[in-house]
Amino acid sequence: MKASLSTVLGWAEEIADRLGAPAGSTVDVEAADGPADAPGALVTLTFADGSSSGAHYDEELDGAEALALLADQLQEAVLEAVQGRPSPACPGHGHPAAARAVDGTACWVCPETGSVLRPVLD
Ligand SMILES: [Zn+2]
């Protein structure tokens, strides 16, 4: 699903914020228009120490799939930055929740039981 860069930026900021990205983290978005890029937006999450991690919003995917994939990549970046603390925590389990498209909505779900914790975006 096509989305404007400012829309993707808003989503990425909300996702990073709710994942508990460390203080001082910033999110930037630019159009993915390089020859090797799938169409969409390149999202960069930069941490206070200057390290950064990239994610991609693939506009050729269904909207919920694209958002779940973006959330998954941002989660990976945040998990690395917080050194493995599960985020978002999966209640009663030691693992983090996983981003999945469920009935057309990107959600955080338990990777074991598949039960939905909450939508990726409110
Ligand atoms: Zn779980």
pLDDT of 4: 96
| pTM for this entry | 0.94
14 CA distance to ligand 1 centroid (A)? Answer: 22
Residues near 77 by Cβ (< 8 Å), separated by ≥ 6? 21, 45, 53, 55
Of 64, 38, 63, which Cα lies nearest the Cα of 55? 38
Report how far ligand 1's centroid is from the alpha carbon of 53 (Å): 25
Interhelix angle 63-81/5-19, rounded to 10 degrees, is 40
26 C-alpha to ligand 1 centroid (Å): 29
Distance CA 80, CA 94 (A): 16
Parent domain of 100: 5-119
Q: Spell out, as residue ranges, where the chain has pLDDT lower than 50.
A: none
Number of domains in the chain: 1
